[in-house]
Copies of this chain bind each other. A is one copy, B any other.
Amino acid sequence: MNDPHSTYVTPPFAGIATFGRQLHTQDLKGVDVAIVGVPYDSATSYRSGTRFGPRAIREQSLLLWGYNNALQVAPFEKLKVIDYGDVDVVPVDILETFAAVEREIDALLIAGCRVITLGGDHSIALPLLRAHRRKYGPLAVAHFDAHPDTWDEEFPGRKFSHGTPFRRAIEEDLIDTDAYIQIGIRGSTPSAHDYGDARRLGARMVTLDEALTLGTDGVLAEIRRRVGQRPLYLSFDIDVVDPAFAPGTGTPEVGGFTSVQILQLVRGLVGLNLIGADLVEVSPPFDAQGITAILAANLAFEFLSLMAKHKSA
Interface residues of A (CB under 8 A from B): 1-2, 7-18, 24-26, 37, 39, 41-49, 51-52, 54-55, 58-59, 63-70, 72, 74, 83-86, 88-94, 123, 155-156, 158, 160-161, 186-192, 194-195, 207-209, 212, 242-245, 247-248, 251-252, 254-256, 258-260, 263, 285-291, 294-295, 298, 301
The answer to whether A13 touches B294 (Cβ under 8 A) is no
Q: Which of B74, B248, B258, B301 is the one whose CB lies under 8 Å from A289?
A: B248
Known: A59-B55, A66-B188, A74-B192. A16 touches B13 (CB 8 A): no
Partner of A16, one of B67, B85, B247, B263: B85
Instruction: Give which listed residue, B45, B68, B243, B294, contacts A295 with CB less than 8 A.
Output: B243
Closest 5 CB pairs of A and B: A247-B289, A42-B42, A48-B48, A285-B285, A243-B291
A244 to B261, CA, bound (A): 13
* Closest partner residue, chain B, to A75 (CB atom): B188
A-B contact pairs, 8 of them (CB 8 A): A1-B85, A46-B63, A66-B190, A69-B187, A69-B195, A93-B158, A254-B263, A255-B259
- Bound state CA distance, A12 and B253, in angstroms? 13
**Closest Cβ neighbor of A243 among chain B residues:** B291
Query: Within the assembled complex, what's the spacing in Å between the Cα atoms of A212 and B14?
Result: 34
Whether B186 and A244, one on each chain, are in contact in the complex, defined by CB atoms closer than 8 angstroms, is no
Contacts of A291 in B (CB 8 A): 243-244, 247, 252, 254
Instruction: Please name all residues of chain B whose beta carbon is closer than 8 Å to the beta carbon of A160 when the two chains form the complex.
Output: 92
A260 to B64, CA, bound (A): 27
Whether B258 lies near A242 (C-beta < 8 A) is: yes
* Inter-chain contacts of A294 with B (CB < 8 A): 243, 252, 254
With contact pairs A13-B52, A92-B158, A263-B254 given, residues A286 and B290 touching in the complex (Cβ less than 8 Å): yes
Which of A26, A41, A287 neighbours the largest number of chain B CB atoms within 10 Å of its CB?
A: A41
Closest B residue to A60 using CB positions: B252
Number of copies of this protein chain within its complex: 6
Contacts of A191 in B (CB 8 A): 8, 66-67, 74
- In this complex, what residue of B is CB-closest to A291? B243
**A289 and B243 within 8 A (CB):** yes
> Cβ of B24 and Cβ of A2 under 8 Å apart?
yes
Q: Given that A94-B92, A190-B8, A242-B260 are contacting pairs, would A83 and B16 also be in contact in the complex, using a CB cutoff of 8 Å?
A: yes
Partner of A67, one of B47, B188, B245, B295: B188
How many Å from the CB of A281 to the closest CB on chain B? 14
Q: How far does the alpha carbon of A12 sit from the alpha carbon of B192 in the complex, in Å?
A: 19
Q: Give the residues in chain B near A2, CB-CB below 8 Å.
A: 24, 85
Contacts known (A13-B47, A161-B92); A67 close to B189, Cβ less than 8 A = yes
A267 nearest CB across to chain B (Å): 10
Give the complex CA separation of A11 and B158 in angstroms. Answer: 13
Give complex CA distance A286, B49 in Å.
Answer: 11
Which residue in B41, B94, B192 is a CB contact (below 8 Å) of A48? B41
